[in-house]
Amino acid sequence: MSTDKKFVEKITSRDVDFAKWYTDVVKEAKLCDYSSVKGCLNYLPNGYAIWENIQKNLDKRFKETGVENVSLPLLIPESLLQKEKDHIEGFAPEVAWVTQGGSEALEEKFCIRPTSETLFCDVWQKQIKSYRDLPLIWNQWNSVLRWEKTTRPFLRSREFLWQEGHTIHATHEEAEERTKQMFKLYHDFVTEDLAIPLVYGKKTESEKFAGAEDTYTIEAMMHDGKSLQSGTSHFFGNKFPDAFNIKYLDKENKLHSCYETSWGMSTRIIGAIIMVHGDDSGLVLPPRIAPTQAMIIPIAQQKEGVLEKANELLKKLKNIGIRTKIDDSEKSPGFKYAEQEKLGIPIRIEIGPKDIENEEVIIVRRNDRKKISIKISDLEKEIPKILEEIQKDMYNSAKDFLNKHIFEAKTLAEMKEIGNNNIGFIKAMWCGNSECEEMVKNETEGFGSRCIPEEQEKLSDTCICCGKEAKHMVIWGKSY
Amino acid sequence: MSTDKKFVEKITSRDVDFAKWYTDVVKEAKLCDYSSVKGCLNYLPNGYAIWENIQKNLDKRFKETGVENVSLPLLIPESLLQKEKDHIEGFAPEVAWVTQGGSEALEEKFCIRPTSETLFCDVWQKQIKSYRDLPLIWNQWNSVLRWEKTTRPFLRSREFLWQEGHTIHATHEEAEERTKQMFKLYHDFVTEDLAIPLVYGKKTESEKFAGAEDTYTIEAMMHDGKSLQSGTSHFFGNKFPDAFNIKYLDKENKLHSCYETSWGMSTRIIGAIIMVHGDDSGLVLPPRIAPTQAMIIPIAQQKEGVLEKANELLKKLKNIGIRTKIDDSEKSPGFKYAEQEKLGIPIRIEIGPKDIENEEVIIVRRNDRKKISIKISDLEKEIPKILEEIQKDMYNSAKDFLNKHIFEAKTLAEMKEIGNNNIGFIKAMWCGNSECEEMVKNETEGFGSRCIPEEQEKLSDTCICCGKEAKHMVIWGKSY
């Protein structure tokens, strides 16, 4: 069996049509499909299981920093949504309105939450009286709804799953620190658990969240060179708390403003996993979040002893906590390989009569199809190691790709040329003016500002657009 | 320190005003509060943490039986909701309608799901072609919305959290078996993990779910003698699949109807935990789902070595997986005891200079305030044992209460008298006619049929109401 054969034939080649490749991968792996509820998705078992593992790992990281989970209502009264003016301006055009409850027309209409800043403020306004009530570090796992015009699996849909963390603090410094802490936490989770390398930094004024003072973002490069915003952390200062009149008394009985943050990551990140790691045979899942980490495929399973041995391995691996399955269906090994490949299961374990005779199994790594022969007696020692190696190799390979596709430009002409001849991101200097930002995007046919990285480089003294003094080095890219 | 002193003074006595006691317990333990979104609740960290543990334990049991989680949309188009006529009749009066999306009025209105049978059918209609596609055993953890008139913490609110399982099968038998399997699973979960004893069986025709052929229910007796429906499992036969035209081809290429089930448990169960186990000091949580299982309270913590030793115990217990916290705040031990009691934390560990000298600690069990002195060296061996004992004792004590409050009646007059002089359930014979059922409820001022238990007893030959031949022994009770 060749190590580079493409088992899965129904998937469009990634280089031929990236968008079609993406939807083929999603469809063949049965991750989600379009609902007949227009604009919405059905998250099917294979897709939802990935989300469950993301939730589990991310929630654990949250709780280690003192986050507590809550659940606030789905509905927001219109008057509540309107309390912070930038926020309502940002969200009003894209919310769904409930106007009727049971058989009665409602006096005040409710929107379905597009995000829950206003609801958290409403709870806190009643709860917070003194410095003893602060800080509150809350999060909820839920779905939100925004009346989008287009629908793409995981990337854009009217309803999507996410977590939204909201925190409130006594001081500016503490809130700012939490904003950065969660930004860092997202970075670590995505690079370590999802094997996705990132660029990251602040959003520009025009790209930040409606109502925020600062938005920090992590951005991943998809295989077509576009950026996917993968998690954001917002610092609100006291805009929201003041709009909702949330104040606290300090030890000396003086009244003070509070400071807020919010931060979110959504099922979009599953889109990033697909578009960073996937290949022409389908999904390639990082071992740490793969619902199944190893698939045992018996060869010549009708022969005596093969299924027994295969089931023995299954039990052994399950016992040491490896998420393992066996495919003992009547289908051919080739068909089973294709199934395992399109589902992106990190390790395939092939075991047939000859392997049993030699007291070994063949391991095939999904990410690079490397074959390894290991002794059955070493299985419990080797499989966890191989999974960790795959995790690391997937990160390194994606990191190589990212590094090779970040360019530098000193003039707008240079930037256009790079953009015309390459996929990827471009680093360039910027004066801080949003008109220049807009012009760069128009002139380059879509290279918008992705982030202002914390680690700045001085590529030149002047803005790439207007030629005035440069204030920031920005990473520019096309985006999802 | 007396073992029966009431530390918490803000809670109304359970025997004085049960309803007030209930809301006091919820409020003092900060489990949830009324949202300013009318009819909705805010599930706060202490309450949501209980739900998370319920989810964790129940989800594990689900998955052991082959359940896969999914997530389907929040919205249901009106035309979809209308496809099964009993279902729409049951739910239409209590749903909320979305009539506007963004700035556009919608051509077809959407309701916010009150339950998702119709959405599951819609997905399955597209997916199921052959016998190979069956069965599908799916579940989702979400919230649903029903336009209720009254609101009570955990017991009744417009939006509530739950899980809804939906399955589809090739045969009547298999679907019926799954209905009973999930009914049994709920029973085992509630009795084993929540220490709540149950009565259980089928619902009568008039009490079953809108659209179901059979509804199985587990019912728990609250401390005021009323019943709380704690989980239901429905057998739909082929009513839903036929209404949605879901058919499959068998091995001989013949077309067949499918059979469905659904089953759900909601945050109401937290209300049951409170009203079965709670006392005048507040919440009493079963160890298996208590967010914190042991609270260490240092005595004279300013004395040298006390805090160090207390933290050492904390680390030891955490290491063996006991959910442990330490209260090292500046408050008095009495205040800390009250806190631990109202939160219902199963074990309090008191440790002061004298205890350290004796190399022991004092354990106080929340459920019965029994004090036990144990050697520090035995802590890791003893605490898990004590937690299991508490779990068992809580069940037995609730079971005693239940047994003592189930009565038998042979005539309607007898039933009325029992109902007037006692709290609890009444067993009595019934002819199967829903008019009699209704009359019993009216005559007894609220004793409705709770369930028809599988283990039938023949208390008499005739219906308690009409005197005609009895078909079933029914358990009757007032309910939440």
Mutant choice from A27, A67, A75, A151 vs B, greatest count of B C-beta within 10 A: A75
Contacts of A166 in chain B (CB under 8 A): none
CB proximity B75 to A under 8 Å: yes
Residues B133 and B265 in one domain: yes
Task: Give the pTM.
Answer: 0.96
For residue A55, which phi and psi values (nearest 5 degrees)?
-55, -45
In this predicted structure, what is the pLDDT of residue A90?
Answer: 82
Q: Strand runs (DSSP E) across B179-237, as ranges?
A: 199-202, 214-221, 227-237
In this predicted structure, what is the pLDDT of residue A6?
Answer: 59
What's the sign of the alpha-carbon dihedral A382, A383, A387, A388?
negative
What's the CA gap between B322 and B390, in Å, rounded?
14
Strand partners, A231: A218
Contacts of B112 in chain A (CB under 8 A): 74, 98, 112
Q: Single out the residue of A276, A248, A263, A22 nearest to residue A129, CA to CA.
A: A248
Residue B395 has pLDDT above 70, yes or no: yes
Residue B183 has pLDDT above 90, yes or no: yes
- What chain A residue is nearest to B78 in terms of C-alpha separation? A37
Which of A337, A357, A387 delimits the end of a domain?
A387
Tokens 């005609």 correspond to what residue?
Answer: B468
Residues A229 and A359 in one domain: no
Distance between start and end Cα atoms, chain A: 38
- Which residues between 151 and 190 in chain A have a beta carbon less than 8 angstroms from any beta carbon of chain B? 158-159, 161
Test A69 with B49 for CB contact under 8 angstroms: yes
Out of A52, A126, A159, closest to residue B74 by CB: A159
Work out how many domains chain B is built from and give that number: 3
Q: Is residue A169 assigned to a domain?
A: yes
Q: What's the number of CA atoms in the CB half-sphere (13 Å) around residue B20?
A: 8
Strand partners, B298: B351
Which of A387, A419, A453 delimits the end of a domain?
A387
Q: Is residue A195 assigned to a domain?
A: yes
Residues B38 and B85 in one domain: yes
User: pLDDT, tens digit, for every residue of B261-272?
Assistant: 999 999 999 999
What's the sign of the alpha-carbon dihedral A33, A35, A41, A44?
negative
Q: Is residue B401 assigned to a domain?
A: no
Could you tell me which residues come within 8 angstroms of residue A276 by beta carbon, excluding any fewer than 6 positions away?
A: A195, A196, A220, A221, A222, A223, A398
Q: What's the number of CA atoms in the CB half-sphere (13 Å) around residue B19?
A: 4
Residues B182 and B308 in one domain: no
Test A73 with B44 for CB contact under 8 angstroms: no
CB proximity A101 to B under 8 Å: yes
Q: What's the number of CA atoms in the CB half-sphere (13 Å) around residue B322?
A: 29
Record the tokens describing residue B289, joined without a space. 């789902």
Test A96 with B93 for CB contact under 8 angstroms: no
Q: Is residue A246 assigned to a domain?
A: yes
Min CA distance, B98 vs chain A (Å)?
Answer: 4
What's the CA gap between A347 and A287, in Å, rounded?
9
Residues B381 and B430 in one domain: no
Record the tokens describing residue B118, joined without a space. 């119709």
ipTM exceeding the 0.85 mark = yes
Q: Single out the residue of A362, A314, A366 nearest to residue A340, CA to CA.
A: A366
Contacts of B119 in chain A (CB under 8 A): 35, 37
CB proximity A70 to B under 8 Å: yes
Which of A387, A417, A434 delimits the end of a domain?
A387
Residues A59 and A129 in one domain: yes
The CATH number of whichever domain residue A182 belongs to comes to 3.30.930.10
User: pLDDT, tens digit, for every residue of A256-312?
Assistant: 999 999 999 999 999 999 999 999 999 999 999 999 999 999 999 999 999 999 999
Query: A373: buried, middle or exposed (CB in 10 Å: 19+, 13-18, 0-12)?
Result: exposed
Asked if A425 contacts A476 with a C-beta cutoff of 8 angstroms, the reply is: yes
Min CA distance, A143 vs chain B (Å)?
Answer: 9
User: pLDDT, tens digit, for every residue of B78-90?
Assistant: 999 988 888 888 8
Average the pLDDT over each of A328-342, B3-17, B151-165, B313-327 and give the range with the smallest value: B3-17
Q: Is residue A216 assigned to a domain?
A: yes
Contacts of B138 in chain A (CB under 8 A): 45
In this predicted structure, what is the pLDDT of residue A88?
Answer: 82
Residue B390 has pLDDT above 60, yes or no: yes
In this predicted structure, what is the pLDDT of residue A8?
Answer: 62
Q: Single out the residue of A18, A464, A375, A4 nearest to residue A222, CA to CA.
A: A18
The CATH number of whichever domain residue A464 belongs to comes to 3.30.110.30
Out of A68, A93, A103, closest to residue B102 by CB: A93
DSSP strand pairing (A214-221 vs A199-202): antiparallel
In this predicted structure, what is the pLDDT of residue B84?
Answer: 80
* pLDDT in single tens digits along all 480 residues of chain A: 334 455 666 899 999 999 999 999 999 999 999 999 999 999 999 999 999 999 999 999 999 999 999 999 999 999 999 888 888 888 888 999 999 998 889 999 999 999 999 999 999 999 999 999 999 999 999 999 999 989 999 999 999 999 999 999 999 999 999 999 999 999 999 999 999 999 999 999 999 988 899 999 999 999 999 999 999 999 999 999 999 999 999 999 999 999 999 999 999 999 999 999 999 999 999 999 999 999 999 999 999 999 999 999 999 999 999 999 999 999 999 999 999 999 999 999 999 999 999 999 999 999 999 999 999 999 999 999 999 999 999 999 999 999 999 999 999 999 999 999 999 999 999 999 999 999 999 999 999 999 999 999 999 999 999 999 999 999 999 999
Q: Is residue A95 assigned to a domain?
A: yes
Residues A266 and A341 in one domain: no
In this predicted structure, what is the pLDDT of residue B249?
Answer: 98
User: pLDDT, tens digit, for every residue of B266-293?
Assistant: 999 999 999 999 999 999 999 999 999 9
In this predicted structure, what is the pLDDT of residue B6?
Answer: 58
Q: Is residue B287 assigned to a domain?
A: no
Residues A250 and A377 in one domain: no
Average the pLDDT over each of B6-15, B172-181, B185-194, B367-376 and give the range with the smallest value: B6-15
Test B37 with A138 for CB contact under 8 angstroms: no
Average the pLDDT over each of A222-226, B248-252, B331-335, B344-348 and give the range with the smallest value: B331-335
CA angle B196, B201, B203 (to 5 degrees): 115
Q: Which domain holds residue B436?
A: 406-477
What's the CA gap between A145 and B77, in Å, rounded?
15
Residues B260 and B144 in one domain: yes
Compare B398 and A89 and report the one with higher pLDDT.
B398
Average the pLDDT over each of A78-87, B342-351, B421-430 and give the range with the smallest value: A78-87
Residues A37 and A107 in one domain: yes
Test A72 with B35 for CB contact under 8 angstroms: yes
In this predicted structure, what is the pLDDT of residue A189?
Answer: 98
In this predicted structure, what is the pLDDT of residue B200?
Answer: 98
What's the CA gap between B376 and B297, in Å, rounded?
15
- Which residues between 122 and 141 in chain B have a beta carbon less than 8 angstroms from any beta carbon of chain A? 122-123, 126, 138
- Which residues between 49 and 68 in chain B have a beta carbon less than 8 angstroms from any beta carbon of chain A? 49, 51-52, 68
pLDDT, average across residues B56-79: 97
Residue B254 has pLDDT above 80, yes or no: yes
What's the CA gap between B115 and B165, in Å, rounded?
10
Asked if A384 contacts A322 with a C-beta cutoff of 8 angstroms, the reply is: yes
Contacts of A103 in chain B (CB under 8 A): 93
- What chain B residue is nearest to A40 in terms of C-alpha separation? B73
What's the CA gap between B428 and B443, in Å, rounded?
14
- What chain B residue is nearest to A145 in terms of C-alpha separation? B74
pLDDT, average across residues B194-221: 96
Q: Is residue A371 assigned to a domain?
A: yes
CB proximity A35 to B under 8 Å: yes
In this predicted structure, what is the pLDDT of residue A2?
Answer: 39
Test B40 with A98 for CB contact under 8 angstroms: no
Residues A362 and A230 in one domain: no
Contacts of B35 in chain A (CB under 8 A): 72-73, 119, 122-123
With bands split at pLDDT 50, 70 and 90, how would you rate the model's confidence at B1? Answer: very low
The CATH number of whichever domain residue A382 belongs to comes to 3.40.50.800
Out of B36, B122, B147, closest to residue A36 by CB: B122
Residues A466 and A410 in one domain: yes
B289 three-state secondary structure: helix
Tokens 């395992």 correspond to what residue?
Answer: A340
